[in-house]
Homo-oligomer: A and B are copies of this chain.
Amino acid sequence: MSAGKRQRNRHQRVTLSDVAQAAGVSSITVSRTLREPDKVSPDLRETVLKFVDSMGYIPDFAARALASSDSGIIGVISPALTNHAYLGVMRGIEDRVRSTDLRIQYANTTYDPADEVRQLKQFLAQNPTGIIFANVDTNPAVEDMLRVARCPVVQIMDVSKAPANMAIGIDHKVAGEMATRHLIESGYRRIGLLGGRWDARARRRLEGYTAVMKEAGLYDPALIIALDHMTSVPLGGHLLDRLLQTVPDADAAFCHHDELALGAVFECQRRGIDIPSQFGICGYNDMDYVAVSVPAITSVRIPRYEIGFRAVDMILRALDRGSASPSLVDLGFTLVRRASTARQG
């Protein structure tokens, strides 16, 4: 790694055998006391722990990982870690991990397939205890790596495709269908689709949108507006602007992210377009602000926290069982109707 200072002075750090010597036992006993206390007699355990404490012993994770082929790290790989919607997932992950002695390592691939492979390799090089992968349809190289990984792997967010191993999330296509159908049922006809990057989930929502629009005889490709950017509130305004340029009679928008929806709301306000009578807006994710914005924004609630929490749980269970039986958990979603689509008549 980087230019490191040499520090071969072994007495800087308290090691397992230092503790063992002081306690008058073998190092393996100290090791066991720390990792499998049940397998050590109570009195020995007590003495050992006393020495561990008084000597300020801190285990060396690298040594542990090397000897046991298990780093104690759960790697989380996401194409858009800095997306606000992931925060909920992170919270769930963290909360589930807190009571264990595992650690989380996050990696952000920014939708770069090469980086995805690189980062995954880096994790694999660490003998991870588990991997959470927030992308489902990725390149085959990644799929292969995930399949042969020697640890439980959970793919999160989307369950519309059979995963290499375990998966938990929702079906974004069905969600897209439901949102679109809701807008149609609310009386809107020229319904635009505002999106950012076409990642796997966005494409699934697009499929849902397209299916329903075609079924209703309302499909028009000009209604689909997307820019290859990270979603943001300002982007929502730009997208609506472009939609109205392209399709002046557009009367609603299904947004791929609540950030876009909020931006669209602001843009409508600037233009004096009334929501919901003149224009309907449906968001996605049900971020906390859509419930309190003026007007409140209809959105699709995704169980983000639960996805994170249970993903870790699935890894833990697989470790307990000693085997990773493939499984797929569809957590479902909820359409939350609010003022932004509550058209009169």
User: Which residues of A approach B to under 8 Å, CB–CB?
Assistant: 1-5, 7, 9, 11, 35, 58-66, 68-73, 81-82, 84, 87, 90-91, 94, 98, 100-108, 110, 115, 121-122, 124-127, 129, 150, 232-234, 237, 259, 262-263, 266-267, 269-270, 288-289, 291-294, 316, 319-320, 322
Check A292 against B234 for contact (C-beta < 8 Å).
yes
Q: A90-B82, A232-B288, A292-B263 are in contact. Are A60 and B1 (CB under 8 A)?
A: no
Query: Which of B66, B234, B294 is in CB contact (< 8 Å) with A269?
Result: B294
Is A322 within 8 A of B60, CB to CB?
no
A1 touches B102 (CB 8 A): yes
Residues of B within 8 A of A270 (CB): 294
The residue on B at minimum CB distance from A320 is B3
A106-B104, A125-B60 as given contacts; A266 in contact with B288, CB under 8 Å? no
Shortest distance between the CB of A152 and any CB in chain B (Å): 10
In the complex the two chains form, what is the Cα distance from A35 to B3 in whole Å? 11
User: Given that A64-B1, A82-B90, A270-B294 are contacting pairs, would A58 and B234 also be in contact in the complex, using a CB cutoff of 8 Å?
Assistant: no
Each complex incorporates copies of this chain amounting to 2
Cα distance, A291 to B66, chains bound together (Å): 51
7 extra interchain contacts, Cβ-Cβ under 8 A, other than A1-B68, A4-B69, A266-B292?
A: A1-B64, A4-B68, A58-B124, A103-B107, A232-B289, A259-B289, A270-B294
In angstroms, how far is the closest chain B Cβ from the Cβ of A132?
Answer: 14
CB neighbours of A5 from chain B (8 A): 322
Instruction: Give A150 to B13 CA distance when docked, in angstroms.
Output: 11
Picked from B2, B91, B124, B320, the residue with its CB within 8 Å of the CB of A319 is B2
Q: Which residues of B contact A72 (CB under 8 A)?
A: 1-2
In the complex formed, the residue of B with least CB distance to A101 is B1
The 3 closest A-B pairs by CB, nearest first: A62-B65, A233-B289, A269-B294
| Assembled-state Cα–Cα distance A193/B222 (Å) | 47
| Contact indicator A2/B102 (Cβ below 8 Å) | yes
A94 and B65 in contact, given A2-B70, A2-B129 (Cβ under 8 angstroms): no
**List of B residues within 8 angstroms of A87 by Cβ:** 82, 84, 87
* Chain B residue at smallest Cβ distance from A60: B125
Task: Quote the shortest CB–CB distance from A178 to chain B (angstroms).
Answer: 25
Enumerate chain B residues within 8 angstroms of A129, measured Cβ to Cβ: 1-2, 4
- Contact partners of A98 in chain B: CB under 8 A: 115
